[in-house]
Structures are given as C-alpha cells and as structure tokens.
Amino acid sequence: MPFTLFQNHRKKLLAEPFPAEWVGFLQRNVWHYHTLSDPERASLHDILRVIVDEKNWEGCKGLVMTPEIQVTIAAQAALLLLGAEHDYFANVEAVLVYPYDYVVTEQKVGPGRVVSEEPSYRLGEAWSQGPVIVSWPEALSGGRIGGDGRNVVLHEFAHKLDFRDGRADGVPKLRGREAHERWSEVMSAEFQHLVNAAHEGVPTLLNQYGATNPAEFFAVATECFFEQPREMRHFHPQLYVVFQDFYGQDPAVRVEAFARARAGYPAT
C-alpha cells in the first residue's frame, strides 16, 4: 500500500467510533484498563486498533481467531506504548496464538559434544525478525490478574522493543548519551544482583528467569514495572526510575489512584 494511502487508511480507522463490544472485552479481560485515566484509555483505544488492524493474526492448532482474542492481546501490548514515542510495533508483522502451551524441539549439546533433541514447552516467544507467539489461556489470565508480576504479552512485546535496534541485548532504543549511561549503570547492577540471588537461592521480587541474560532481564523487569509497580518502586527504586523514564509512565501512582478510588477516597 502506498504511504499516503496507508496514512489515510489509519486516519479513517481512528476516526471511527470505538466498538462498544471491545470496551466489554477490555473491562473483562484487561485489569490494567481499570487503572487508566480517560485520556490514557482513549490513547490505548487508538493504539490497540492499529495493532489489531495492521498485524496478521493467526490461530494455531485449531484455535479460531476472534475479536476478543485480538483486542485482549493488543490492549496489553498497547499498554507499553502509552507514554513513549513508538511505531505501533512495526517489527511485529504477525501474532500467532495457541489454544494452550506449545512444544518446540531444541537441540542441546551434552557431554562429549553429543547433540540431543529435547522438547521445550513454552507459553510465548518473540522472534527478532518474526512474529510474537503466545498461549491464549496465558495471555487471558495475564490480562485478568494484576499484581502477580506475570504477563506473557508484556514480556514478549518488551522483547520486540528490545529488538528495534537489531540486537537482543536488553538495551532498547534510548534517547541520548546520558540515558544510555544511566541505563547501563542501573541495569548492569540490578541484573548482577538478580544473578547472585538466583545462584544463592534467595527469593526476589523480580522473576529469576530474568537472570538468564540481559534481554530476559529487561522483559522480566518490564512485567514487574507494570504488574507490581509499587513493590518495584520500593525495593528497586533506581530500576523503577529508569523504566519510568523509558516508558514515560508512572504505573505505581496510577495503581495507587485506582486503589483510593475503589476505597471511596477522593483523588489527590
């Protein structure tokens, strides 16, 4: 599609009323939606509509693709983009959704350099030059349950943010030398802390899968930033600040305002 027609198509799409049925999907399936302000919800609506419209959505292993699946997953991905400059995940051409966890055969080199093939059971993955793949039950539970630090959609789409500069190294595109230096300083220290804790068997707020490598640390920390922001701000204040700067959001304040509203206290 020529660029001008592409722009016109997107403009026309965003000018249409947001489907009422989709609001129902968001209210039922995306816990974070309830914590957003009205302007943030409007922005989320626009971003998720583009993601739904412009990505190829494919149900795998017999899963029938539905608007509910698309909206639920796209909304969680859109949450990452609310406060930052973005390209609607231009490096995501397709989203593949399975009806359960899926199996990938991995080759492993053992003693004596003997190569064996072993099944790897997965709930999601992101390819640097390919699709995002998720399990629908995991994506749904991650959307509905807030505060547990787990969200496969946030995790895999965070990887795609990391891939924007062509490398899976836990360093997404940042603005300026100072931001890079601060990111490197904080992320390196926090990653090493998690590696040490995992090695010593010490419980941590951050999922210890993040100790695998810096790329996984970035994805795991992203889950924590949105899922357990108040805890992250308390136990990892420097990490919280660099993520706050990168994502342009303060989810801890957002969650606190939501909690006050539910308790019947006036906004501050």
8 A C-beta contact, residue 168 and residue 159: yes
The pLDDT of 10-22, averaged and rounded, is: 96
pLDDT at 259 over 60: yes
Single-letter code of the amino acid located at 91:
N
114 touches 153 (CB < 8 A): no
> From CA 255, how far away is CA 61, in angstroms rounded?
37
Listed in sequence order, the residues at least 6 apart from 39 whose beta carbon sits closer than 8 Å to its beta carbon are none
- Report the distance separating Cα 108 and Cα 99, nearest Å: 27
In which residue are the tokens 């989810």 written?
251
Query: For 173-185, what is the mean pLDDT?
Result: 94
pTM of this prediction?
A: 0.91
Structure-token pair, residue 31? 């816990």
Predicted confidence at residue 120, as pLDDT, reads: 66
Radius of gyration of the chain (CA): 19
Q: Spell out the domains of the chain, with CATH numbers in brackets.
A: 169-268 (3.40.390.10)
Is residue 32 predicted with pLDDT exceeding 80? yes
**Torsion, CA 83, CA 87, CA 89, CA 90, rounded to 10:** 180
pLDDT band for position 30 (cuts 50, 70, 90): very high
Token couple for 194: 């998690």
Q: Are 183 and 174 in contact (CB under 8 A)?
A: yes
Average pLDDT of 134-154?
96
